[in-house]
Amino acid sequence: MKKATIAGAQNVEVSVKLPSEKTPQEQLAIMEEYTRVHQASLSLSKEEREINCLQVIYPTLFRKTEPGDLIAGRLDFLPIGFGCVTSLGGVGHYCVFDKLSKFRDSLSDPADQKRVDDLYTYWEDHDTKALYCNDVLTDTTIGRFIDGHYPLMATARLSGMMLDYPMLLDNGIEGLKDKIRAKHDPDNEFLNASLKALDLFQTTCDHLIDSIAESEQTVQSLQRIKELELMRNDLKVIKTDTPRTFHQALQLVWLYALLAGCINYGRLDDFLGPYLQHDVDSGLITDDDAFAYLKSLWTLIENRRTTVNGRIIVGGYGRKHPEAADHFARIAIKVTQACKYVEPQFTFRFNKETPQDIIDMAYDCIGSGSTYPTLYNDDVNVPAVEYGMRVDHRTAEQYVMFGCGEFVIQGQSLGTPNTLLNLLKLLTITLNEGVDPMDHEVKSGPVYIKPLSEFRTFDDLYDNYKKLLDYYFDLSVDAQYYSYQLMNREVSFLFASILMDDCIDRGKAILDGGIRYLGGTNETYGNINTSDALYAIKQLVYVQHKYTLQQLNEAALNDFQGAEDIREDLWNQPKYGNDVADADAFANDLFEYVAKNIRQRGIDRGMQYYLIVISNNQTNTEWGRETAASLDGRHAGQFMNPANNPQGGAAKSGPTAVLNSLATFNAKYHGGSVQNIKFTPRMFNHNRQEIKWLFNTYFKNGGCHLMVTIVDHGVLEDAQKHPEKYPNLIVRVSGFSAIFVNLDKDVQDELLARTLYDE
């Protein structure tokens, strides 16, 4: 009997998807054929089943090349198919049930609706994520992503795949086949299926070549004919040979990423820079040509509409070709500034050796109103990754970030965030003898939670809260590890596995023992609300003796109605984000307890690493809706603090103070921590030298990362009232950017609550 509710949204999705090119009847036929092939392949190995199903959707789901495209490859996604992540369909053999239901409702013929119903019934028992949820979710403790009723959310996905593109570029498709054949293992199902996957890549090249040739017959512009001819000829090259030009290398990487279902691209500056430099030096292309190619790539990534992904990273330690990579980076920054897209999430790794002109270009790009690049401090992050992921320094230099800020090692590790923990909800449960005040359900499991009257000291309370945290840490690591086991039981992720070290050498898929470093990340929410609340309790109850713990909790249970004075006292206590040593130290104490204990549990469970990531991808707002009033003065249902930043309205001491607080957390204990700050254009652009001093001090003091939003006073408020006037206003939500008017109102409210610095 199923425990899991599989309908409903399964992903934070604020980007409006492009409609499918296929007619509803064509879509239905493809989904039926995929389902038929899957069912017919149930008795086969997972590898054979996967390749059989992939042959149904590739190249069938490829869209036509659009007029401005300079790189070939656009791909549709249906409610049923194969993928790695929920941003594009789902994981493994997937069915997105709510989207399938909407598709059904769009059909007028009852017979067609019945066909969809039959698909729905079949996939209830075969969708990879549904299988996981049925095994893992519980009635009170673990809910699916994104169901905020639970303190812990768990999911199955393969987010953050950052492939070894140099392996692809150095070998080409036929070279990869040779590497596989060299294993001399004809009975290895993974290797045999991998060869078929590479054959499918070549079939897709042929399909695109034919499609482009058809387009050439109807085009009048000589310039466009030349562009189409370039794409067609380069597809012929990359079908078999290693790329020789910048355009060929771009095309190969992009097309492979599409087939692999990967939505993050990593250190393209280092991989593609040498091709760019060679072509420019030889006179084959100009920087303007390279700009046009990259702008086309940026547009293709934006059109995938994955919301929180599309990472392209430039700069930093560990690059093999730093001068050529910097050439790429300079052009890429110009493209980002010109496009001002939500995606790709353009990211800048810097260090003490980074050329000043590139740093200045990055700041100019941010100051122009783009929310990119995001800034990552290698002098802090590289040694932090070395410790946190337990890798050597050279390996740590290859860290890359994805999604909302999680780290992996490109081509070498997997660290998908399949568990999410609400620290604040767990505190409210601790204050109510294990009961969640939002729905009155007991959610403490076997952990005994004392009545409030028995907490004689603050340490009594804190220790009981930590016992509840420990219980949920155990739940989370088991859920994380099982997500890998379940996905591995069902699929091999063939295209991704081929380009991950050391899958070919070991003859094993990513999750079957092929990946070099199997890790994980646990997203934590409400961190700062929780530490602020605990600090306020300590001060008002156990130091000042102004209130009893029962009085504070009773006020919170009534959402402070009739107890506004208590809320004022709670809100006015020293808070993280104001450079107050005691408040910051308390936040750091909670952070290290959570981070160290989760990490150790992952290691004990057999993973290379299991690190917390302090992000929010607007889940801080969605989870806040289901979290009771808290003793930092936050109202019931209100958004929680974003990532590692103070609660909206709590930072009252200026940008230097907030950055000083942000820098207190030791980066080696987490696997990514989002830091946001917001300035007016006048402040950021007219006081650029002061901004540089401010940021330099923050980064020298241990700041690991910064995401900067530039917006005028009143613009967001006006956009909320008159959305039609601001269809393209981009804002930094947390680990991702979004069109402001596409966000839910309470998400907009959370952004408005963040301090905007103008002096």
Instruction: Return the structure tokens found at 43.
Output: 């008795």
Instruction: Return the structure tokens found at 622.
Output: 């969605």
The pLDDT tens digits of the residues spanning 525-584 come to 999 999 999 999 999 999 999 999 999 999 999 999 999 999 999 999 999 999 999 999
Strands 517-525 and 419-422: parallel
Spatial CB neighbours of 400, under 8 Å, sequence gap ≥ 6: 162, 264, 266, 267, 311, 313, 407, 408, 409, 410
Q: Which strand (E) or helix (H) includes residue 153?
A: strand 152-154
C-alpha separations of 7 from 147, 211, 254, 567 in Å: 11, 37, 32, 38
- Tell me the backbone φ, ψ of residue 634, rounded to 5 degrees: -80, 140
User: Span 644-669, mean pLDDT?
Assistant: 95
- Are 100 and 79 within 8 A, CB to CB? yes
C-alpha separations of 422 from 468, 570, 623, 674 in Å: 12, 21, 8, 16
Lowest mean pLDDT among 77-91, 231-245, 503-517: 77-91
- pLDDT class for 1, splitting at 50, 70, 90? very low
**At 620, which amino acid appears?**
N
User: Span 427-455, mean pLDDT?
Assistant: 98
How far apart are the C-alpha atoms of 148 and 154, rounded to whole Å?
A: 11
C-alpha separations of 376 from 24, 350, 507, 715 in Å: 44, 6, 35, 28
Say what percent of the chain tops pLDDT 70. Answer: 98
- Are 124 and 130 within 8 A, CB to CB? yes
Q: Is the pLDDT of residue 11 over 70?
A: no
How far apart are the C-alpha atoms of 435 and 447, rounded to whole Å?
A: 12
The pLDDT value given to residue 4: 58
How far apart are the C-alpha atoms of 587 and 596, rounded to whole Å?
A: 14
- Are 462 and 549 within 8 A, CB to CB? no
The pLDDT value given to residue 14: 62
How far apart are the C-alpha atoms of 458 and 543, rounded to whole Å?
A: 9
- Tell me the backbone φ, ψ of residue 454, rounded to 5 degrees: -90, -5
How far apart are the C-alpha atoms of 688 and 246, rounded to whole Å?
A: 35
C-alpha separations of 540 from 21, 272, 545, 546, 556 in Å: 61, 58, 6, 5, 14
**At 275, which amino acid appears?**
Y
- Are 644 and 637 within 8 A, CB to CB? no
**At 124, which amino acid appears?**
E
User: Span 238-263, mean pLDDT?
Assistant: 97
User: Span 652-677, mean pLDDT?
Assistant: 95
Q: Phi/psi zone of residue 508: left (φ > 0), alpha (ψ -120 to 50 degrees), beta? A: beta
Report which of residues 617 and 245 the model is more confident about. 245
The pLDDT tens digits of the residues spanning 279-326 come to 999 999 999 999 999 999 999 999 998 877 899 999 999 999 999 999
The pLDDT value given to residue 584: 97
**At 544, which amino acid appears?**
Q
Tell how far CA 478 is from the center of its chain. Answer: 21
Q: Which strand (E) or helix (H) includes residue 441?
A: strand 441-442
- pLDDT class for 9, splitting at 50, 70, 90? low
702 closest CA partner among 654, 642, 660, 644: 660
The pLDDT tens digits of the residues spanning 457-481 come to 999 999 999 999 999 999 999 999 9
The pLDDT value given to residue 5: 60
Spatial CB neighbours of 347, under 8 Å, sequence gap ≥ 6: 311, 312, 313, 314, 372, 373, 374, 376, 401
- pLDDT class for 485, splitting at 50, 70, 90? very high
User: Span 396-416, mean pLDDT?
Assistant: 94
Q: Phi/psi zone of residue 5: left (φ > 0), alpha (ψ -120 to 50 degrees), beta? A: beta
Angle between helices 688-700 and 356-367 (to 10 degrees): 110
C-alpha separations of 250 from 72, 238, 274 in Å: 10, 10, 12
Cβ neighbours of 226 (radius 10 Å):
10
Q: Is the pLDDT of residue 55 over 60?
A: yes
Angle at Cα 293 formed by Cα 78 and Cα 287, nearest 5°? 165
Say what percent of the chain tops pLDDT 90. Answer: 89
The pLDDT value given to residue 383: 98
- pLDDT class for 739, splitting at 50, 70, 90? confident
DSSP structure string for 548-614: -HHHHHHHHHTTTTT-HHHHHHHHTS--TTS--HHHHHHHHHHHHHHHHHHHHHHHHHT-SEEEEEE
Q: Is the pLDDT of residue 89 over 90?
A: no
What average pLDDT does the structure give for the chain? 95
Q: Is the pLDDT of residue 3 over 80?
A: no
**At 577, which amino acid appears?**
G
- Are 664 and 586 within 8 A, CB to CB? no
**At 143, which amino acid appears?**
G
Lowest mean pLDDT among 85-99, 190-204, 585-599: 85-99
The pLDDT tens digits of the residues spanning 145-198 come to 889 999 999 999 998 889 999 999 999 999 999 999 999 899 999 999 999 999
Lowest mean pLDDT among 145-149, 266-270, 663-667: 145-149
The pLDDT tens digits of the residues spanning 571-581 come to 999 999 999 99
The pLDDT value given to residue 2: 44
537 closest CA partner among 515, 552, 555, 518: 552
